Amino acid sequence: MLTDQYELTMLQAALRSGAAHRRCTFEVFARRLPQGRRFGVVAGTGRLLEGLETFRFRRNELDFLAERGIGDDDTLDFLSSYRFSGDISGYAEGEIYLPHSPVLQVSATFAEACLLETFVLSVLNHDSAVASAAARMVIAAGGAPESGGRPCVEMGSRRTHEFSATAAARAAGVVGFAATSNLEAGRSWGVPTLGTAAHAFTLLHDSEEDAFAAQVETFGPGTTLLVDTYDVEAAVRKAVEIAGSTLGAVRLDSGDLVAQAHEVRKLLDSLGNSATRIIVSSDLDEYAIAGLAAAPVDAYGVGTRLVTGSGAPTASMVYKLVQRQDSKGAEVPVEKASPNKASAGGKKQALRNLDADGRAAAEIISTDATPEHSGYSGRNLHVPLVVSGSVTPGTTGPEGVRAAAQRHRASVEELPAAAQRLSEGEPVIPTVFV
C-alpha cells in the first residue's frame, strides 16, 4: 500500500486496453544534482530489493481496495497473484551518479513494472539524498576512518520520521560514517551503534558530579561524558576527577565549538588526560565540519543536517518509461516532449570513462548496446540486481551495506580532485550522450 493510487488505475486501464502485457523498460534518473553539488551517491538499492521480496497485495489490502472501489475484478485478480518476475539492473549501491545517469532499469511487462514506481522512487530518492549529503560530510572530515579521516557519527533520528531515521543511518553507513545512534539500523543492517547520555541525564541527578559518577560507575572510565550542561570548564575538571586519566571522551553540544575545543583540549592535556578524546555535535553540516578541521576534535556527531540531506532532502529522481513493445511485439523507444521535462527514449548503457591514470573523465550514456564501438571505453556501471524476479545475492541486509560501502570508497577515489570541493560548482565529470 506504499503506492500511489495512479499505479493501480493505470494498471486497470492497461489491462482493459491490453497494453498491460507489453514488455517495457523504465529508467530511474535525476535530471540534475542539487544546486552546486559535484556528484550524487546512489543509496537505498539494498532496501529496495528487500522491499521487493515482500511487495505483495494480501487479503487486507485487496479488501481495502475493493471497499474503496479502486480496481475492478481483473485488477484485483492481477494484484492478488502479483510477484515481480522481471529484471532489474542498475548502478551498484554506493556508486557515484551524475545528471541523467540511468541509475536503475526495470524491465518487465507494463503491469509488473508500473506498480513499482512509487516504492522504487521513495526509497532511492530518500536514501540517495541522505547519502549524497553524508558523503560530503565524510569528505569534510578527511575521509572515512579507514582512510585516516575523523569518524562521523550519525545521530539525527530525532529530527526525521522514525523510519526515515533508520534508512538515513543506513545511508550514512554506506558512505563511510563510523556509527549511528539508531538501534534499528544496527539490527536490520549491522550498522555499528553507539550512544551515552543527553543533558537530561545530568539534570536528573542532584548534581553534575552525581550524574558523571553514575555513568562512570556503570560504563567504566572509557565512557563519553557530556560536559556542557552548566559550565564546561568546571565539568571537564569534574569529569577527569571522577573518571581519571583513562576517561574516554567528552562531548560538546553547544556554543562556539572551535574555541571550546581548543580550551578543552588544553585543559584535558594540563590535567594529564591527553588520551581523552573530544567529540562535538550541534547542528553540524559539511561546512561546519570543514570549519573544525584545524580544531583539536576527534569525532563529529551529525544529526539534523544529515537526515534532511543538508538542504536537499530529496534526490529528485524520476521513473520514466523509455522503451516498450509495439503492437507487433517489437521494442521501440518512447519519450515525452513536455517543456522542461523532456526525457531521452530508449534503454541506456552507462560507462564511467576513465583517463590514462584511471581517473573518471566522463559519464557515457548511450542507447547503443556497445558504446565501446562509438570509441568510448570504461567501467560498465550497470550490474544485475534482479534476474527473472530473483534478487542477486549479496545486495541486501548487512552484506549489501558492506559491499556498498566498499563500492562507494572505490568510486570516490576514482573521481578527480574537484570532487572533494564543498563549494558550489558543476558536476565533477560531464555527462556525455552518445
Which residues ranging from 47 to 66 are in contact with its own copies (CB under 8 A)? 51, 61, 64-65
Contacting range for its own copies; rule: CB under 8 A; set: 32-40, 85-93, 268-276, 336-344? 336-344
The residue among 211 and 240 lying less far from its own copies, judged by its C-beta, is 211
The residue among 337 and 369 lying less far from its own copies, judged by its C-beta, is 337
Closest listed residue to residue 113, CA positions, set 12, 21, 5: 21
Write the CA distances from 24 to 152, 328, 345, integer angstroms.
42, 14, 12
Given the DSSP bridges, would you call strands 317-325 and 23-30 parallel, antiparallel or unpaired?
Answer: antiparallel
How many amino acids of this chain bind its own copies (CB under 8 A)? 107
Q: Which helix (H) or strand (E) holds 406?
A: helix 397-414
The residue among 304 and 431 lying less far from its own copies, judged by its C-beta, is 304
The residue among 61 and 368 lying less far from its own copies, judged by its C-beta, is 61
Q: Minimum CB separation from its own copies for residue 354, in Å? A: 33
* Interface of this chain with its own copies, residues 227 to 286, rule: CB under 8 A: 228-231, 253-256, 282
Q: Which of 35, 54, 340, 388 is close enough to bind its own copies by CB under 8 A?
A: 340
Bridge partner residues of 152 (DSSP): 300
Residue 72's SS3 state is coil
Q: Does 8 bind its own copies (CB under 8 A)?
A: yes
Q: How far apart are CA 410 and CA 405, in angstroms?
A: 9
Do residues 252 and 239 lie in contact, with contact meaning Cβ atoms separated by under 8 Å? Answer: no
Q: Which of 62, 209, 219, 287 is close enough to bind its own copies by CB under 8 A?
A: 219
x-or-dash string of contact with its own copies, 161-200, rule CB under 8 A: xxxxxxx-------------xxxx-xx-----xxxxxxxx
Closest listed residue to residue 177, CA positions, set 144, 222, 224: 144
The residue among 266 and 336 lying less far from its own copies, judged by its C-beta, is 336
- The packing angle between helices 397-414 and 117-140, to 10°, is 50
Q: Which of 316, 392, 420, 431 is close enough to bind its own copies by CB under 8 A?
A: 316
> Would you give the DSSP letter of residue 151?
P
The residue among 160 and 353 lying less far from its own copies, judged by its C-beta, is 160
| Cα Dmax for the chain | 82
